[in-house]
Chain A
């Protein structure tokens, strides 16, 4: 299983773009990268998923370099409601589908 490393916390202001980078040096060939958002006392919410290059949806973009050893979640124009913990997960099919959560990044958006 690929271990993930993210910054413990980040601060931002409303309206700014926030980029959270995750390193996963031991990612395997068939692994996908998925980002989740979690609010207190709620289950993680799927944000975006990718395998390589760039993926964009209505809420975020995900940038994955060619070596896939890291990924960056980009949140455009954050608002106060984006204050949450963000987790980067690497989905491994080796020995059966399994994901292990890292510590996550606590994003605090200020007015």
Chain B
């Protein structure tokens, strides 16, 4: 089956530092990946669409300068949370588009900003 990995699975950082989260499609190539954010007891919220070789498309209300997305290859997209603050603490989940109509999700990354 289609497998998507994320690294790290959890990270704790100090306020003001930057954190990079990697999303990899392990057994397929993905021209499109997605980044979601999920707060406790809530649904997933789409943050941005990452397209290989081009700029990401951000959803309304998501700061592109704060959440930097790079999709440098067909199997890797990265999300960098710059100058993280406690309110950025959340569960970040990526997904990769598989074929035309399906996406598979990574296991998620728990970010805690102190």
Contact surface of A with B, Cβ cutoff 8 Å: 32, 34, 36, 41-46, 49, 87, 91, 93, 96-104
Asked if B44 and A101 sit within 8 Å, CB to CB, the answer is: yes
> CA separation between A48 and B44, bound complex, in Å?
19
B45 in contact (CB, < 8 A): yes
Interface size class of B (residues with CB under 8 A): 20 to 34
Contact surface of B with A, Cβ cutoff 8 Å: 1, 4, 6, 32, 34, 36, 43-46, 49, 57, 91, 93, 95, 97, 100-108, 110
The minimal Cβ–Cβ distance linking B77 to chain A, given in whole angstroms, is 14
- Once A32-B101, A96-B49, A97-B32 are accepted as A-B contacts, the answer to whether A43 and B43 lie under 8 Å apart by CB is no
Residues in A whose Cβ lies below 8 Å from that of B4: 43
Nearest residue, chain B, Cβ from A89: B103
> CA separation between A91 and B34, bound complex, in Å?
13
